[in-house]
Structure 1
Amino acid sequence: MNRSRLMATTMLAVLSLAVVIALTVVITRWSMEQDLVSESAIKQWNQELVTQKEELLAAKERSEQQIQALSSRLAGLQAHLLRLDAMGNRVASDMGIAEEFAFSQEPAIGGAESSPYASNAQYEDVASTLSQLENNILQKEQQLSALEAIVFDKDINAEQKISGRPIVKGWLSSPYGNRADPFTGKKDWHPGIDFAALAGSEVIATAAGVVTTVGSKSGYGKFIEINHGDGFSTRYAHNKELLVKKGDMVKKGQVIAKVGNTGRSTGPHVHYEIMKNGRKLNPYRYIKN
C-alpha cells in the first residue's frame, strides 16, 4: 500500500516536472518571438523616421527655392510698377491733370519689416505682399486706362479742332466779309477766305472728319466739303483735282485736292469756308489757332 502510494506520488511529481518544463519552453519561445517582433518593428520605425526626415528636408529646400523665386519675381513686379508710376505721373503732369491721378504717391505695398526677399522668407509674407501688389497693379491699370481715355479723347479733339490754313504754301488773297466783286467791281459779301497758290499745289484738310460732298458746285468749281462733328464743316473750292471721295475719313493735314482755277475764279487759289450748323463763320480766327 505504501509502495503503491509512493509510486503514484513519484509519477505525479515527474508529470508535474514535465508540465513545468513544457510550459517553460513554450513561454521562453514565445518571449523570444515577441522580442524578435519588437526589434524588427523598432528598426522599421527608425527607418521610416529617417526617410520622413529626408523627405521633409527635401520639401523644405524646394519650398525655400520656390519662395526665393517668388520673392525675385515680386521684386521685379515692384520695380515695373514703380516705372509705370513714373510714366503715368509724367504723362498726367504734361497734360496738366496730375491732381486727378495719384501716380506720385508711394505705391500701397505692405509686408513684414524684414525683407520678404531673404532666403528665410516665410510663404505667408510673400503671399501677403503679392496679394497687396496685385491690388495695387489693378488700381494702376484702372488709372492708366482712365488716363489713356483722356489722352485719346484729347487727341481726337485736337484732330477734330479746325485750325491752320488749307494750303501748305500760298498767301491770303481775299479776306472774309465785304469786298469788291472781282468780276463786277460792285460791293459784295465774301463768305470765306481766298488763298492764292501755285496751280497744282496741295490743298489740305484743316481738321479730321468725313467727306460729305465731292464734285462740281455752281460758282465754286470743283468742290469738297468735310463734316467735323459738333455742327462744324469746312469747304474747299476752285480745285483743279479732287483726291478724296464722298464718305472718306480724312485726317488733319491730309492732302485732299490740288489748287486750281475752276468755277468763278480769276486765278489759281483755294476758297476756304467754315460753317457751324449751316451758318458761315469768319475763318480768320480759326487760321490763327
Structure 2
Amino acid sequence: MNIIFVSNNMAKAKTLSTLQVCLIALLLISLPVVIMLFLIVPQESTTQQGDKSLIPSKLKQAFGINNPQKHLDAYALQLGELQARIMRLDAQSERLAKLAGEKKPASEKITPVSPELGANASKADPAGRGGPLVLNAPITELDLQQKITETMAKIDFDTDYLSDIEAKLLQQGVLKDMLPNSSPINAAFNSSSYGWRIDPFNGNKAFHEGLDFSATEGTPIYAAAGGIVTTAERTPDYGNIVKVDHGSGLETRYAHASKLMVKVGDRVEKGQVVALVGSTGRSTGAHLHYEIRLNGNALDPRKYLKASN
C-alpha cells in the first residue's frame, strides 16, 4: 500500500512506503500508552534518587545500612559476652563465699503477675513502680550501646575488685603456705594478658586465663611453688605443658614449652626448673603461658606475683 501526498507549492507527489506507514501507526498507538504510564506510576522523589546515586545498594549492604539484622547480630554478640562475664562473676563470688565460710544466698525471683489477680496485683508484685511521666522519649540505638558499654565497664571493675579480695583471703587463710607466689621465669609479663582480650588467631573477644611472659626459646621455667607433677605432655592448645598440684585444689600450669624437664609423679621444689620456653601449641611466638587455678577455676596470677614483692 502506498499513500500519495500532493503539495500545492511544489505540485509534486510524495510516496510513503509500507514500512514507513507502519512505523507512524505504531508511534501513534504507543504515544497515549506512554503518557498514561507516566501519569499512573508513582515517581521517586529527588531525595531518594540522590540517595541511590550516592550510595550504591551493594555498599549499603556492606555497611549494614537499612539492614536491621546486622544490628541485631552485633547486639547478640555483646549480650553473649555480657552473659559470659556475669557467669564468671557469679562463679568468683561463690568461691569467695566458700573462703569466707558463708553460703551464697539464692537470687530472688519475681513471680509474674497474672491478669486474674486484679486488685491484689500490687500485693503479689514486690517490684511495683510508678510516678508521673516526665520528658518521655524512646530509647535510641546510641543509648543502648552506651548502656552496654557502661555495664561491661562495671563488670570489669567488680571482677578486678573481687580478684583482690580473693587473693587477700587466700594469703591470710590456711592455703597461704601453699600459694605459688614466686615468678616462674626471669622475664617481664604482659600486664593486660589476663582477662578479656582480642584473640590473636580469630580476632574475636576471648578470655585469657593466664599471663604471657615473652622470652627467648630455651629460657628456664621454674616451679612457682613446691608440689607434685600431675601432667607433662603435649596438647593441641597448650603445646608442651606441665601441671603441678600444690595441694588443697591449687594448681599451676606452664605451657607452650619447647622441652619438658619433669615427668608425671615427680615432686618438685619451689624454684626448680620444670621446662624450657618455646612456641608449641596455639602460640604466635616464643613465650611462657602461666596459669594458677583453684579447684579448676583460673585465678589472676598478677595478684600473687605482687604479693611476693
Same topology, TM > 0.5: no
Greater helix content: 1
TM range (shorter): 0.3 to 0.5
What TM-score, normalized by structure 2, do the two folds share? 0.41
Higher Rg: 1
What TM-score, normalized by structure 1, do the two folds share? 0.44
